[in-house]
C-alpha cells in the first residue's frame, strides 16, 4: 500500500483546494521544492495536478518536465488539461511515467488505452454518485456506467476521488472506494479526505492499491510509506 504525495498547481504555486473549489485555496510554496522534498523522503510516485490545465483544457508540458526533474528518482503521474491522445503523449514525452485522464476519457477511452497502455490512469472524480469532469465543474456519467466502460475498454488502473472529501481531512469515502474496487477488479488509487495512517490502513482493507494524499502530508499528519 503506497502513499503517493499529491502536488496541485495553480499558477506557479503548490496549493490545495477544498472540495475542488477554486475560491477555497491554501498555498504551500514552490512545487519543485515540494517534489524534491517528497522524493528525498522516499516517495516512489508523485501525483501532479495542473488545476489551471484542468479548468481550461490545456496542458503545460514544460511545467511537467520541470517537476519530473525535481521529483527524481520518484516517478510522476501527471494530470490536468488532457483533452486528446496527443496531449497525453506529449506529457509522456515530458517525462511523465503515467498520465491521469478524466474529461477526455469518456470520448477517447479506447484510443487512450491503445496509445498509453499501462501508462494510463482514468480518473473517477465522484460527487453524489456522478463522475465529474472539466476541473470537477461538469457532470459526465453515472459512476457504475463509468466503471463498466473502463473495464470493457481494458483500462489498466483507476484513480477514485471523493470530491466532497477532498482537502477536508474528514476521512476517505471507504464505501465509494470499495464499490469501485469490487465492480472493476482493477488496481485503484484512492483520494479525498485522507488524514492519518489509520485512514491509509482502512483504504488498504477496502482494496485500494495506493492512497494519493495532499493536505495530510503537507501538514505532517502522516508520513510516506515506500
Is residue 199 flagged as an active site residue?
no
- CA triplet 33, 89, 143: central angle to 5 degrees? 85
My answer on whether omega of the bond before 73 falls inside 30° of 0, hence cis, is yes
Chain-centroid distance, C-alpha 169: 17
Q: Which cell numbers in the block locate residue 164?
A: 466532497
Is residue 166 flagged as an active site residue?
no
Cβ–Cβ under 8 Å, residues 102 and 123 = yes
Which is the catalytic residue, given 8, 50, 166, 199?
8
- The Cβ of residue 138 has, within 10 Å, a number of other Cβ atoms equal to 10
Question: Nearest CA to 96 among 79, 84, 109?
Answer: 79
Cell 520541470, residue located: 66
Which is the catalytic residue, given 50, 87, 125, 173?
125
Which sequence positions are flagged as catalytic?
8, 125
Amino acid at each position: 500500500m503506497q502513499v503517493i504525495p499529491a502536488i496541485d498547481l495553480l499558477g506557479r504555486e503548490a496549493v490545495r483546494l477544498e472540495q475542488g473549489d477554486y475560491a477555497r485555496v491554501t498555498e504551500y510554496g514552490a512545487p519543485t521544492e515540494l517534489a524534491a522534498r517528497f522524493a528525498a523522503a522516499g516517495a516512489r510516485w508523485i501525483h501532479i495536478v495542473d488545476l489551471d490545465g484542468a479548468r481550461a483544457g490545456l496542458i503545460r508540458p514544460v511545467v511537467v518536465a520541470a517537476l519530473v526533474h525535481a521529483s527524481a528518482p520518484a516517478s510522476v503521474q501527471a494530470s490536468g488539461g488532457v483533452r486528446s491522445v496527443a496531449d497525453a503523449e506529449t506529457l509522456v514525452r515530458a517525462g511523465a511515467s503515467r498520465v491521469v485522464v478524466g474529461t477526455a476519457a469518456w470520448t477517447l477511452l479506447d484510443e487512450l488505452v491503445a496509445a498509453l497502455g499501462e501508462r494510463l490512469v482514468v480518473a473517477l472524480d465522484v460527487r453524489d454518485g456522478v463522475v465529474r469532469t472539466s476541473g470537477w465543474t461538469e457532470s459526465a456519467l453515472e459512476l457504475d456506467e463509468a466503471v463498466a466502460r473502463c473495464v470493457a475498454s481494458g483500462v489498466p488502473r483507476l484513480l477514485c476521488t471523493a470530491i466532497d472529501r477532498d482537502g477536508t481531512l474528514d476521512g476517505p469515502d471507504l464505501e465509494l472506494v470499495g464499490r469501485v474496487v469490487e465492480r472493476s477488479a482493477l488496481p485503484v488509487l484512492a483520494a479525498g479526505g485522507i488524514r492519518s495512517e489509520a485512514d491509509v490502513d482502512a483504504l488498504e482493507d477496502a482494496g485500494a492499491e495506493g492512497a494519493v494524499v495532499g493536505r495530510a502530508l503537507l501538514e505532517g499528519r502522516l508520513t510516506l510509506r515506500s
